[in-house]
């Protein structure tokens, strides 16, 4: 486990697909509808190293702390900061990756 502030993130083992290290383009889960509603314009304001949000399949995710333990590195997160990262996410991650490794990053959803 990794501890950053009050947040707890699992350790990642490349040989353990249950840790979310595998991917394989499983596509996204159904659009997330929990948390607070946001617009893409709201998300676009959060693209600094100390304030990083992305949209993943309708979920607004605050990756500010998680980026430091992301197995793919900080760069890929920063390259997509403030955007709808669903297309790149879905090509790499399995359907339930967020639920398995970092459900706490979901802070809201994109409002219709």
pTM, two decimals, is 0.76
> Whole-angstrom Cα distance, residue 77 to residue 80?
5
Say which CATH topology domain 2-110 has.
Flavocytochrome B2; Chain A, domain 1 (3.10.120)
Radius of gyration of the chain from Cα atoms? 13
CB 67 within 8 A of CB 77: yes
φ, ψ (nearest 5 deg) of residue 46: -115, 80
Q: How much of the chain exceeds pLDDT 90, in percent? A: 64
13-17, 36-40, 58-62, 64-68: the lowest-pLDDT one:
13-17
pLDDT at position 23, please?
Answer: 45
pLDDT at position 76, please?
Answer: 96
């Amino acid at each position: 486990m990794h501890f950053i502030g009050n947040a707890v993130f699992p350790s990642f083992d490349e040989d353990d697909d249950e840790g979310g290290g595998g991917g394989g383009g499983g596509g996204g889960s159904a659009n997330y509808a929990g948390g607070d509603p946001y617009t893409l314009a709201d998300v676009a304001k959060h693209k600094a190293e100390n304030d990083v949000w992305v949209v993943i399949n309708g979920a607004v995710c605050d990756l500010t702390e998680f980026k430091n333990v992301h197995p793919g590195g900080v760069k890929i997160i920063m390259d997509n900061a403030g955007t709808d990262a669903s297309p790149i996410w879905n090509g790499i991650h399995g359907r339930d990756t967020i639920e398995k490794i970092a459900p706490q990053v979901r802070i809201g959803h994109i409002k219709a």
